[in-house]
Amino acid sequence: EADIYQTPRYLVIGTGKKITLECSQTMGHDKMYWYQQDPGMELHLIHYSYGVNSTEKGDLSSESTVSRIRTEHFPLTLESARPSHTSQYLCASSSFEETQETQYFGPGTRLLVL
Amino acid sequence: GDSVTQMEGPVTLSEEAFLTINCTYTATGYPSLFWYVQYPGEGLQLLLKATKADDKGSNKGFEATYRKETTSFHLEKGSVQVSDSAVYFCALISSGSARQLTFGSGTQLTVLP
């Protein structure tokens, strides 16, 4: 079983607030990812990191930012939340050492911006 | 670019029915193929995977065979249970995608008792 954690699991917040979604993994994985999952279920990659101090934007443009100061930690921040940010956010990690590069997912954070 | 096309849902079956969820792909090189499952209110869990042609991935009674000639990775189960109700995602990683997962759109499965 994968050891990847996300907090909070659910968050309801007002427009304009700053929020940080936490993601941590204890597997020592180099690579970490953030996906946004819309109500139609489709997943979109919004950020990824290949290691400490490495961050890249994904396929879907997002107003969020990420940081990777420690291998195990990959938080996502929204400086000013808007209703359009309402979604589920999934964090994942994988290892360069695995040739199949299986991604392991956290339980997700369901965000509602009022 | 890489893409994954999944059978449109939702799919509704009776318990003990046979399940097939179709998945075809377009990718550069020799991709690895995956099926993930998402139960209500949870994140994605890896269900099974296959890394080369003719490999068969299997787990919890589910199977999928990597068919390079038809670029397919269809998910099958001989007898579904109510507890199999979930959303199923087909996905791939190829060398042409900077080693990032490309997902299908997901198929909602509901199994009725």
Q: pLDDT tens digits for B23-72?
A: 999 988 789 999 999 998 888 999 999 988 999 999 999 999 999 999 99
What pLDDT does residue B7 have?
83
What pLDDT does residue A42 have?
84
What pLDDT does residue B81 have?
97
What separation, in Å, do the N-terminal and C-terminal C-alpha atoms of chain A show? 35
> What angle (nearest 5°) sits at the alpha carbon of residue A108, between those of residues B66 and A71?
85
Residues of A in contact with B38 (CB under 8 A): 41
Q: Is B99 a residue whose pLDDT tops 90?
A: no
Considering only the beta carbons, identify the residue of B46, B89, B105 that sits closest to A102. Answer: B46
What pLDDT does residue A96 have?
67
DSSP string, B37-75: EE-TTS-EEEEEEE-STT-EEEETTEEEE-BTTTTB--E
pLDDT band at residue B15 under the 50/70/90 scheme: very high
The residue of B101, B102, B108, B110 whose CB has the most chain A CBs within 10 angstroms, and thus the best one to mutate to test that interface, is B101
Mean of the per-residue pLDDT values of chain B? 92
What pLDDT does residue B8 have?
81
What pLDDT does residue B42 have?
84
Which regions of chain A are under pLDDT 50? Answer: none
DSSP-based three-state secondary structure for B106: coil
What pLDDT does residue A64 have?
93
DSSP-based three-state secondary structure for A66: strand
Q: How many CB pairs under 8 A join A and B?
A: 47
Q: For residue B34, count other CB atoms closer than 10 A to its CB.
A: 28
The residue of A25, A34, A44, A105 whose CB has the most chain B CBs within 10 angstroms, and thus the best one to mutate to test that interface, is A105
What pLDDT does residue A40 have?
73
Does residue A48 come out as left (phi exceeding 0), alpha (psi in the -120 to 50 range) or beta? beta
Q: Which residue of A has its CA nearest to B101?
A: A103
CB contact under 8 Å between B44 and A92, yes or no, is yes
What pLDDT does residue B30 have?
83
CB contact under 8 Å between B51 and A99, yes or no, is yes
Count Cβ atoms within 10 A of the Cβ of residue A40 and give its class: 0-12 exposed, 13-18 middle, 19 or more buried.
exposed
Contact status, residue A4 vs residue A91, Cβ threshold 8 Å:
yes
